[in-house]
Amino acid sequence: MARLVQEIPVDLPHPALPAGEWADAYCVSTQRPFMTAREAAEAVFSDFPSWVDGLMALRNVIVAPLRLKTGATSKPSVPRIGFFPVVSEDKTRVVVGMNDRHLDFRCVVDLACNECDRDVTITTVIHRHNFLGRAYLKAVLPFHRLILRTSLAALAKA
């Protein structure tokens, strides 16, 4: 049975980033037996499609002269899921993200367990600081949507 990735509305302000003024969210149902939101987040953020690595490498080359954070400039001691620093977590919600010169972002992974399925929702909340933050979001938004939809669709198939 095919399971669709659905875009769902987000209410702002969002508790993960109260200053955020932009957000989107995608949800999918899966039969994978996740017991915690961390397990779901690890399945999504630690196993991106291989083409995402190339996009992230290109992104890092482009933003380095702008003094934006890259994987090479982030603290290695911070707990991570994939390449995202963990901000907070409990059994049903994991928040990853970081603050930078141009914008702050949080990705929130929520897990809701039903009888047979698990609903995994990823909400992205962004607070743009300046023109660079607005331009950056506009440039990466098509890739952001493609990556999330592809990753959640793969999660549903597994």
Amino acid at 58: L
Residue 144 CB partners (closer than 8 Å, separation 6+):
24, 124
**CA nearest neighbour of 14 among 29, 5, 28, 25:** 25
Angle at 55 (CA atoms; ends 45, 41), nearest 5 degrees: 5
Residue 27 CB partners (closer than 8 Å, separation 6+):
5, 6, 8, 119, 120, 121, 122, 152
**CA nearest neighbour of 158 among 42, 25, 26, 6:** 42
R_g (Cα) of the chain, nearest Å? 15
Q: How many CB atoms lie within 10 A of CB 140?
A: 14
Averaged confidence pLDDT in the chain: 87
pLDDT in tens, 30-67: 999 999 999 999 999 877 778 877 677 777 777 777 77
CATH, domain range 6-157? 3.30.530
The reported pLDDT for the residue numbered 58 is 72
Tokens for 100, please give them. 């930078």
Task: Indicate the domain borders of the chain.
Answer: 6-157
Question: Is 135 in contact with 126 (CB distance < 8 Å)?
Answer: no
What is the reported pTM?
Answer: 0.88
Q: How far apart are CA 104 and CA 26, in angstroms?
A: 19
The reported pLDDT for the residue numbered 2 is 43
pLDDT in tens, 72-83: 445 667 888 988
